[in-house]
Amino acid sequence: MSTEPDAKPLADAPETEEPSAPPTPYEMDRYECRPCGYVYEPVRGDGKADIPPGVPFEELPITWRCPVCGSRAKLFTSIGPAGKPSGFSENLGYGLGVNTLTPGQKNLLIFGALGVAFLFFMSLYGLR
């Protein structure tokens, strides 16, 4: 005799999987041409080959080539989405929180701190 109500096994529970929304162009990986350094950005597309904005690199036509040097798509390497924090995603939680900053934010933090330190030390000359 149990005081708990009859519980249905979890296996009978309907699994509701939310369909994953397609990534926005800002979440799509950018690809860089190894020979010339051209970066294909899905946000911009490719005006030369009439590729509209929002087309991921994987869905480009087979005949598409680099608009700068003419290299095939297999010579491109993924450089990740624009504005993504650098490093492995599992390491972003370590440290003082600066691991989650984008490269531009890290530059602002570093050079801003150097500028403040410079002004502080220059102000020490006025303490006579």
In a domain, 12, yes or no: no
pLDDT tens-place values along the chain, 128 residues long: 556 555 555 555 455 555 565 666 557 788 899 999 899 888 888 888 888 888 888 888 888 888 889 888 888 988 877 767 666 667 777 777 777 777 788 899 999 999 999 999 999 988 87
Is-above-0.85 flag for pTM? no
Residue 53 lies in a domain: yes
For residue 77, give the CATH number of its domain.
Answer: 2.20.28.10
Residue 17 lies in a domain: no
The whole-angstrom separation of Cα 27 and Cα 29 is: 7
Domain total in the chain: 2
Structural domain span for residue 127: 91-128
Radius of gyration of the chain (CA): 25
Give domain status of residue 71, yes or no.
Answer: yes
Separation CA 100–CA 56 (nearest Å): 25
The verdict on residue 95 lying in a domain is yes
In a domain, 13, yes or no: no
> What integer pLDDT is reported at residue 109 of this predicted model?
92
Same domain, 73 and 124: no
Cα separation, 29 vs 2, in Å, equals 55
For residue 70, tell me if it sits in a domain. Answer: yes
Distance (Å, whole) CA 104 – CA 92: 16
